[in-house]
Structure 1
């Protein structure tokens, strides 16, 4: 957490564009990055987990550090995460204590699955004596924001008040939502554009397939992905479907212009966060940031700013797929399998592009608005998203077959699509299956989900 002032200064607007363009790499160097957030809870009694105390999040971090040898990093003296130089992966804390693995770059889906399995093995072994358990859902089902303790990360003290000013559910996003995310590479600007358009258009499909957050505040919310609904009510200036990405001439420069107009949150100097919420990065470029008069940004400032933008697909030096609810362990790899099969095989990428190319911005926006509530039954064309989802999973499967990456048992990567194939077979998302139990065998007892959705 060193100060951002040691980073090279931004000399021109071209540096902003170059910051993303440097992500271009040959196909032989493409990797798969998978991130997932897990809610934490105690069972005796059933309650959220605090940061401090002998059975708190800090104790969990300390135990994982001892077990793995990963190095802690700090905020104002408090350990808030771990990092491994060897694996290039890390653990971080989300605002409400969600325990996040940011996986290292993996060569294939088998390695991704193994990474997640090893992480869960270590985390559960350390957590068990602390009565800490992990929950694989997109939203905490019974606790309000007020009941969840804030983690001691300075940036969240800046973000939370600003969220309350610009949206109605921003703090719900921060404190009680959890996602799984896939990060993928591109070879050139043109390759980035094609992949970004495909993944943006199909992000509502991923949301429908992985919908896994029907409950909040101890009740059925009426949404299949309440987490996705939360994002619709967080901050319009930094979320959404990026309509300009489908315009003629789109590329790194246009994304940089978009990012410049997204209001800032903070600047990091000497390990301390300076509150610049609502300020303009364009003013910062000109040395006119009121909190740092005369000072201009560094490359690290730009990278931090890019990381505070939350569209359905985010561009940095790779593409981040952001539309899915957290689920069980197999669904974590299934998300990476879905996007890898679609985007890392040229034939599949072209097939997916041809599928989404006729869609208008109105159609894309309609899917995004309706999918949190209707999921796979969201109307589309003369049918619904179920048909699109089934086709997309088929395209992804074919792409993984052509990649032909085998594990030690000789099985290719299509084995990791199994959770999605089950959803297509049943025509029911995980959320709908939870609702069936809630309305049936659970007889409305939502505490049952803590046992059944425990990782």
Structure 2
């Protein structure tokens, strides 16, 4: 989740103004970039427990990394993130450690950024006895075992989540993801990219499945993280049907976001609880108990970060459906989507692939894949077969870029060839080599 940003105090006067905020993200193809975000669970080598904020935990790690040129991001005086060269490090609610990478020109630069981040994190965490493992759901900890990070927005969400879904707190505390942020050219280009990526998001969830354990035993899913998201705040999650309606664009998406219930606004560096109001109501009537506060564009920008659809439109597109995984899989995720969406021919082929998929079928697929992943039946085939087609399109798209980036798809080729996801591999090791000891996953997955 985002670190708090700079406030824009411009008053809001129309919905068109909100739509124009999204439109300002439009870029010429030569300026399109790739921004990768990935999260990982911290653990103490001595006992595998998740580290608290302090002492000798996440705060100390952040402070150590400042010696590498990172500047602190503060919340009520507490360092809760870092920033450097258009990249940032942020904390998820349970202390999951996230790199939000800089917008970079190609996948080779993204791979170098990932390797540098892992090296810096290992060097800073070793004196604290900490390791990190990128997995989709925490394999050992109960919800009560997880710490809470001192971020103001999380305190508000912590109170709100149990009202709107059975697993919202699990999403906050016990899940990790990898996502990629990609640009669009025009409004029509945004619409086509958004529809492709929403339609294929359940496939990505299956391909990257990496959370088969919970509380020390198999949980019955290939991606429990995927399951968690089907039980989290339906007002702001999932695959919104509006994106597939005729006439969809920046304005229609703004109308959708206006009706998403709010979490907070920021005033004078302080989070103000805005739950109970939609942004539309806030614009029309203000906030109950907060006289004199009017909606600003800064409030809108913050509100957009609380929309958790499987693909989120901001001033770029965020692909949000995958479990965190090995470094090679963290890199395969941006390779997959870049290949599909940064070549005109590949984008058209991807559009043709999903053109006849009814939105209700896509939404049903999203609910099915957490349990059966690539074995899930869809459109008369298995999702594994569909994945082979999608990866072939992505490979053609990367080849068209002429940068030798298609090598980063090799982990996905191996998964489709074998039918064994990361989750299936862990389950095999659990049954055989680990002899039922889930705790061994930390050593095996540590980065």
Q: How many equivalent residue pairs? A: 445
Question: Which residue is 2:209 aligned to?
Answer: 211
Question: Which residue is 1:344 aligned to?
Answer: 342
Question: Which residue is 1:164 aligned to?
Answer: 162
User: How far 1:264 moved relative to its partner?
Assistant: 0.1
1:296-325 CA-to-partner distances (Å, cap 9, x unmatched) read 211111011000010110001000000000
User: How far 1:229 moved relative to its partner?
Assistant: 0.3
The 5 Å alignment of 1:27-66 reads 27-53=29-55, 55-66=56-67
Question: Which residue is 1:356 aligned to?
Answer: 354
User: How far 1:5 moved relative to its partner?
Assistant: 5.7
Distance 2:4 2:205 in 1: 36
Answer yes or no: is 1:430 the counterpart of 2:422: yes
User: How far 1:73 moved relative to its partner?
Assistant: 1.1
Question: Which residue is 2:445 aligned to?
Answer: 453
Question: Which residue is 2:11 aligned to?
Answer: 9
Question: Which residue is 1:81 aligned to?
Answer: 81
Q: Could you say what secondary structure the match of 2:318 adopts? A: strand
Distance 1:396 1:90 in 2: 28
User: How far 1:290 moved relative to its partner?
Assistant: 1.2
Question: Which residue is 1:415 aligned to?
Answer: 407
User: How far 1:137 moved relative to its partner?
Assistant: 0.5
1:378-421 CA-to-partner distances (Å, cap 9, x unmatched) read 1112221001101000100010001012xxxxxx0011111111
Distance 2:35 2:407 in 1: 18
CA contact (8 A) 1:401 1:414 kept: yes
Q: Could you say what secondary structure the match of 2:137 adopts? A: coil
User: How far 1:377 moved relative to its partner?
Assistant: 0.7
Distance 1:413 1:90 in 2: 24
Q: Alpha carbon RMSD of aligned pairs, Å? A: 1.2
**Cα distance, 1:5–1:214 mapped onto 2, change above 3 Å:** closer
Distance 2:223 2:14 in 1: 42
Q: Could you say what secondary structure the match of 1:79 adopts? A: strand
CA contact (8 A) 2:140 2:215 kept: yes
One of 174, 197, 222 as aligned partner of 1:224: 222
CA contact (8 A) 1:72 1:79 kept: yes
Q: Could you say what secondary structure the match of 2:188 adopts? A: helix
Question: Which residue is 1:254 aligned to?
Answer: 252
The 5 Å alignment of 1:102-113 reads 102-113=100-111
**Cα distance, 1:217–1:24 mapped onto 2, change above 3 Å:** same
User: How far 1:425 moved relative to its partner?
Assistant: 1.6
Q: Could you say what secondary structure the match of 1:208 adopts? A: helix
CA contact (8 A) 2:312 2:319 kept: yes
CA contact (8 A) 2:286 2:295 kept: no
1:309-363 CA-to-partner distances (Å, cap 9, x unmatched) read 1011000100000000000111111100000000000111000100100011221
Question: Which residue is 1:115 aligned to?
Answer: 113
Question: Which residue is 1:408 aligned to?
Answer: none
Distance 2:5 2:332 in 1: 37
**Cα distance, 1:427–1:63 mapped onto 2, change above 3 Å:** same
User: How far 1:7 moved relative to its partner?
Assistant: 2.8
User: How far 1:282 moved relative to its partner?
Assistant: 0.9
Question: Which residue is 2:371 aligned to?
Answer: 373
The 5 Å alignment of 1:67-78 reads 68-78=68-78
Q: Could you say what secondary structure the match of 2:49 adopts? A: strand
**Cα distance, 1:400–1:104 mapped onto 2, change above 3 Å:** same
Distance 1:319 1:294 in 2: 34
User: How far 1:428 moved relative to its partner?
Assistant: 1.1
Distance 1:118 1:341 in 2: 24
Answer yes or no: is 1:190 the counterpart of 2:188: yes
Answer yes or no: is 1:311 the counterpart of 2:312: no
Distance 1:8 1:374 in 2: 48
Distance 2:262 2:397 in 1: 39
1:404-448 CA-to-partner distances (Å, cap 9, x unmatched) read 12xxxxxx0011111111111211110011111111111110011
Distance 1:376 1:283 in 2: 42
Question: Which residue is 2:123 aligned to?
Answer: 125
User: How far 1:11 moved relative to its partner?
Assistant: 2.5
**Cα distance, 1:250–1:6 mapped onto 2, change above 3 Å:** closer
CA contact (8 A) 1:27 1:187 kept: yes
Runs (4+) of structure 1 exceeding 4 A deviation are 1-6
Distance 2:136 2:113 in 1: 21
User: How far 1:6 moved relative to its partner?
Assistant: 5.2
Q: Give the alignment's TM-score, normalised by structure 2.
A: 0.98
Distance 1:114 1:440 in 2: 35
Q: Could you say what secondary structure the match of 2:286 adopts? A: coil
Distance 1:59 1:4 in 2: 25
Q: Tell which deviates more after alignment, 9-18 or 340-349.
A: 9-18
**Cα distance, 1:296–1:387 mapped onto 2, change above 3 Å:** same
Q: Give the alignment's TM-score, normalised by structure 1.
A: 0.96
User: How far 1:105 moved relative to its partner?
Assistant: 0.2
**Structure 2 unaligned residues grouped into runs of 5+:** none
Answer yes or no: is 1:24 the counterpart of 2:16: no
